[in-house]
A and B are shown apart, each in its own frame.
Chain A
């Protein structure tokens, strides 16, 4: 077991991001494999009429709605971040600041990967529809807007989960619950912004929506960072 690999070459922030990536990459791969298989499997069954649902069958663009599960997945990973990893890093001589920044880097990386994988789903969906010979509307949205929106949403969900986990780690259950409500309120706000038909909005509106999403994510990150800086290392969470 060689432990000297690249020792001391990485900055503390990069060490955090690297070890988080090492710990969670398999989970990410498994999630996307299972999720896409189930998603396209169900879609295929609808197309073949095995599952009778005309509304879905005729609506087209199902893949647009495939961001909900990855968001929840990232939310859960975020919740686990402080609870599962904070002790390990700080007890190994990493500052809270480096843990926070490394965690952000990791959150950004996961968000980018999920965004790219989601974008890759569009041609796959098109291919499946073509092969199956189904007649469906194939008017896809502006993929650049979709990509930026998803990136911000994934990032926001991960950081929202992270804030929830940090709240319950740092505080007793009541204050933890308040932090949880705050995070959920911000996420609901973000969802409401994207619920307006994004791709159909005017360019100026789209810009404002993306700006608000970015600001909401920044707000979550800022609050979480403030909590992390003063957090004491605990053996067990006290509820």
Chain B
């Protein structure tokens, strides 16, 4: 079951004047993995919490499966929003939290939840307040995955987990998504780790949506060029350089913007190697201070 999310001119004020979200409009088709990226304070959590009906927007409209989600009984149990150290009652035991979740999420898979709890070595009788940060994160992602909610949102939910646990989560997420297609939104600062999962990327900056694009298309807007330093410098003239590294006579640069067939031919002739660029490099460029909206759109 896949559900479409439509957001139109969404705004959220906090402290009566500061804008957490400003005129955000987008559409998310169901059955995809989305990456929601943005710097600290860009409005990611505010946006996600409105989608999950954790709070109401100040202006604009949200439609999930064609209906406003806030206080909508049909919609709220279709959107599972998981945050690191999120909303678990500290006095509850792990088994109480799982019991509550199993009772509330219509598509809950109890066997899958048990398997994840075992994998993350979460003790059923332990109180939430006695769990480590990593264990709380693991419990959160267990609920998120086992809920099988048509819209599942992970907002830095796995940040407290150690690297092996995180990679296990990424593998499980992909595997479970393939078996049970649904909309998954990942908001993260660990872009390098999860970027391969993204099918589409949204970037927020200072409360505004600066980009929504398919991940592959976005990656094609940047290139890594490696070769003799002089040749690389000549080739890079007129291009937007995101980063550069030099080791002896060899230089590597990352550029933003499509190269075009002619430049690619020239690079080959000059003995340069062209490779893909990471989403993280592009993200850093797109959200750095002073960049214009035209550059974001057209590269």
Contacts and interface: CB of A to CB of B under 8 A. Distances in A.
Contacts, number: 103
Contact of B99 (A3, A8, A10, A232): A3
A97 B71 CA distance: 7
B4 interface: no
A95 B74 CA distance: 10
B21 to A, nearest CB: 14
Nearest to B95: A1
Contacts of A97: 71, 73
25 contacts: A1-B110, A1-B117, A2-B110, A3-B98, A3-B103, A3-B108, A4-B102, A5-B99, A7-B102, A12-B104, A15-B103, A22-B96, A84-B91, A87-B87, A91-B86, A92-B104, A93-B80, A95-B76, A97-B71, A98-B73, A229-B71, A230-B56, A232-B56, A233-B49, A235-B83
Interface string A84-96: 1101111111111
Interface in A1-37: 1-8, 10, 12, 15, 18-19, 22-23
Interface in A89-132: 89-98
B54 A4 contact: no
B76 A88 contact: no
B101 interface: yes
> How large, as a class, is the contact surface on chain A?
20 to 34
Contacts of A5: 99, 102-103
A23 B92 contact: yes
B33 interface: no
A5 B103 CA distance: 7
A8 B103 CA distance: 7
Contacts of B97: 88
A12 B77 CA distance: 10
Contacts of A94: 76-77, 104
A93 B98 contact: no
Interface in A225-239: 229-230, 232-233, 235
Contacts of A229: 71
Contact of B124 (A1, A8, A235): A1
A233 B54 CA distance: 5
Interface of B: 49, 52-56, 71-73, 76-81, 83, 85-89, 91-92, 95-106, 108, 110, 113-114, 117, 124, 149
A1 B54 CA distance: 29
Nearest to A229: B71
Instruction: Tell me which of B52, B100, B103, B124 has the highest count of chain A C-beta atoms within 10 A of its own C-beta.
Output: B103
Contacts of B110: 1-4
A227 to B, nearest CB: 14
Given A91-B54, A91-B81, A233-B54, A15 B104 contact: yes
A71 to B, nearest CB: 23
Contacts of A8: 106
Contacts of B81: 91
B143 to A, nearest CB: 8
A66 to B, nearest CB: 28
B136 to A, nearest CB: 12
A88 B77 contact: no
Contacts of A15: 103-104
Which one of A4, A15, A93 has the highest number of Cβ atoms from chain B below 10 Å of its Cβ?
A93
Contact of A19 (B77, B95, B100): B100
Contact of A1 (B49, B55, B108, B114): B114
Given A96-B71, A98-B73, A10 B86 contact: no
Contacts of A7: 102-103, 106, 108
A3 B89 contact: no
B102 A91 contact: no
Given A3-B101, A18-B103, A91-B81, 15 more contacts: A1-B110, A3-B98, A7-B108, A10-B103, A15-B103, A87-B87, A88-B97, A90-B87, A91-B54, A93-B79, A94-B76, A232-B54, A233-B55, A235-B86, A235-B87
B103 A88 contact: no
A15 to B, nearest CB: 5
A19 B101 CA distance: 11
Contacts of B86: 91, 235
A95 B87 contact: no
A88 B102 contact: no
Contact of A91 (B73, B87, B95): B87
Contacts of B80: 93
Interface string A60-76: 00000000000000000
B85 A93 contact: no
B103 A6 contact: yes
B54 A92 contact: no
Nearest to A92: B104
Nearest to A84: B89
A84 to B, nearest CB: 6
